[in-house]
Amino acid sequence: MESKIKLQDKSFKPFIPYEKITAAIDGVAEKINADYKGSNDVPVLLCILNGSIMFTSELMKRLNFNCELVTMKLSSYRGTSSTGVVREVMGMTGSVEGRKVIIVEDIVDTGNTIVELVNTVKGKGAIDIKVCTMLLKPEVYDKTVKLDYVGMEIPNAFIVGFGLDYNELGRNYKDIYVIDN
Ligand code: IMP
């Protein structure tokens, strides 16, 4: 793990090592496997680009039932804070009509994105929607959407790494770093 990383005008310090992240993903995968065990349905994993690309890849490797992958791209953050407006940058790459869907998110912060996503997926005719997020900032989340699978809860601080970015930078680090004020 780097002792510090610099992305544009901001510095970040170590926060969650890769081993802790993968242990949390092990836990989430175990729960999902238990819930879908013996089911005849083939659920759709809906990976929300770009942030959840690494999480989805690690999670999928651990799932032991048949599933399909659909992606879509949303954007709501500018710099280190949410704009409150969720933009669909790229639509879904496959259909979710009549399907069970597991939304796979990197992080739930205010929850604006997840509310928008659940409505979109419902609108496209999914018959069952579960939400899976690697990280949750419980101090900020103020919505009522049930978060079915949560890898880890973190305080309200801006982080990067393991898919998460600051102005598109920092996604490539396998550990997670927090802003160093
Ligand atoms: P929400 O709509 O406020 O819940 O924010 C969710 C989205 O904002 C996530 O999918 C991320 O793309 C982004 N986001 C939230 N918190 C962070 C953070 O600490 N670092 C990087 N991106 C974040």
Q: What is the pLDDT along the chain (181 residues), one digit of tens a residue?
A: 889 999 999 999 999 999 999 999 999 999 999 999 999 999 999 999 999 999 999 999 999 999 999 999 988 877 888 888 888 889 999 999 999 999 999 999 999 999 999 999 999 999 999 999 999 999 999 999 999 999 999 999 999 999 999 999 999 999 999 999 8
Structural domain contains residue 82:
yes
CATH code of 66's domain? 3.40.50.2020
- Per the structure, the count of domains in the chain is 1
Structural domain contains residue 93:
yes
| The pLDDT of residue 46 | 98
Q: How far is the CA of 12 from the centre of ligand 1 (A)?
A: 16
Structural domain contains residue 7:
no
Which residues make Cβ contacts (< 8 Å) with residue 86, sequence separation at least 6?
74, 75, 76, 112, 113, 116
| The pLDDT of residue 88 | 87
List pocket residues of ligand 1, CB cut-off 6 Å. 51, 76-77, 82, 105-113, 158-160, 164-165
β-pair type (176-179, 128-136)? unpaired
| The pLDDT of residue 142 | 95
Report the predicted TM-score, pTM, of the whole model to 2 decimal places: 0.96
Q: How far is the CA of 95 from the centre of ligand 1 (A)?
A: 25
β-pair type (68-78, 10-16)? unpaired
109 among known catalytic residues: yes
Structural domain contains residue 92:
yes
| The pLDDT of residue 65 | 97
Inter-residue contact 3 to 14 (CB < 8 Å): yes
Structural domain contains residue 172:
no
Structural domain contains residue 12:
no
* Domain assignment of residue 86, given as a range: 18-154
Out of 35, 41, 106, 109, which one is annotated catalytic? Answer: 109
| The pLDDT of residue 41 | 94
Of 154, 157, 159, residue with least CA distance to 170: 159
| The pLDDT of residue 172 | 98
Structural domain contains residue 177:
no
Rounded CA gap, 5 and 174, in Å? 13
Structural domain contains residue 180:
no
